[in-house]
Amino acid sequence: MSAPLEVAVHCRGLTHRFSGKAAVLGLDLCVRRGEVFGLLGPNGAGKTTTIRLVNTLLPVQEGKVEVFGYDVSRSAMAVRRLMGYVPQMLSIEAALTGRENVMWFARLFDIPRRERKARVDQALEVMGLADAADRLAGTYSGGMVRRLELAQALVNRPELLVLDEPTVGLDPVARDGVWERVEEMRRATGMTVLLTTHYMEEADVLCDRVALMHLGQKRAEGPPSALKAQVGPAASLEDVFRHFTGGTLGQDESKGGLREVRGTRRTASRLG
């Protein structure tokens, strides 16, 4: 372990290639303990690949990633114990009840039997799902599904919560409901949150700091207010992005694999 404990996630010289093509190129990133950190950029910018390198889904090819001082290549299990993860796509088991979905993950995270039921009840209650806990998850609305996923991710009391496009496909009310709960959890517990989004206005409000990614590289990093100040007095984060990359979020249509786009659409469609 080498990174100081104030650092939650530390990436150095991170490069990842798919069939020789770089998805992430020489990325240096430092997420501080307790902050909400946003990775921003359009489809194909390398956000999800970065998240997958941090959460041990992808092997590190070049460079180094540490999570709370643990090298993800050498201590993947230790890293996973510290992490809660909500992927971009809907990831609940619709044929189980809400409670069974959360209990499943409580067991996989080795929560002791004597604490398990209380922790599951607590997670469901915090996410406002106590009344619906014994209904099949397939009957939940889009916002409820996302909150159920958060309950699954939080039942382990993670030090780091990783959210990959968590509000994609949600209506504004459900989106606010998700962020309110994430923000309250963060304030109450000091948990670190690493998220990806291409909704700039969300990132502006929620994130303590952001990194703008484009074509696998980090183009800018800092608090949203500081980045906006660099560009102009009335600048938005989208202006900042345009300033540092010369493009807009929706511009690069060649990026984002078919599976990614199809998955996003499927998620949006299932969320209604």
Partner 1 sequence: MKSVALAAPPAGSAEATAAANRPKPPGLAGYPRKVGTFCLVELQKLSHDRTELFTRAVQPVLWMVIYGETFTRTHAIPTGHLAYLAFLAPGIVAQSGLFVAIFYGIQIIWERDAGILTKLLVTPTPRSALIVGKAFSAGVRALAQVVVVLALSAVLGVALDLNVLHLLGSFVMVMLGSAFFACLSMTVAGVVMKRDRLMGIGQLMTMPLFFASNALYPVAIMPAWLRALSRCNPLSYEVEALRDLLVGTPANLGLDFGVMALAVVAGVTAASSLVGRLAR
* Binding site residues, partner 1, CB under 8 A: 5-6, 33-34, 52, 55-58, 68-70, 77-78, 80-93, 95-97, 100, 104-105, 107-110, 112, 122-123, 125-126, 128, 136, 152, 154-155, 157-159, 161, 180-181, 184-186, 188-192, 259, 263, 266-267
In angstroms, give the least distance from the CB of 233 to partner 1.
33
In angstroms, give the least distance from the CB of 272 to partner 1.
16
* Complex with partner 1: residue 32 or 242, whichever CB lies closer: 32
CA within 13 Å, CB half, 114: 0
Dihedral, CA of residue 81, residue 30, residue 18 and residue 247, to nearest 10 = 130
* Complex with partner 1: residue 181 or 218, whichever CB lies closer: 181
* Complex with partner 1: residue 67 or 220, whichever CB lies closer: 67
In angstroms, give the least distance from the CB of 197 to partner 1.
16
Residue ranges with strand state E in 69-205? 70-71, 83-86, 160-164, 192-197
Rg (CA), the chain: 18
In angstroms, give the least distance from the CB of 236 to partner 1.
30
Q: What is residue 86's three-state secondary structure?
A: strand
* Complex with partner 1: residue 4 or 250, whichever CB lies closer: 4
The order of strands in the sheet holding 192-197 is 83-86, 160-164, 192-197, 36-40, 209-214, 217-222
How far, in Å, CA of 26 to CA of 19, rounded? 17
Widest pairwise Cα distance in the chain? 56
* Complex with partner 1: residue 130 or 235, whichever CB lies closer: 130
* Complex with partner 1: residue 52 or 219, whichever CB lies closer: 52
In angstroms, give the least distance from the CB of 155 to partner 1.
8
How far, in Å, CA of 158 to CA of 171, rounded? 27
In angstroms, give the least distance from the CB of 39 to partner 1.
17
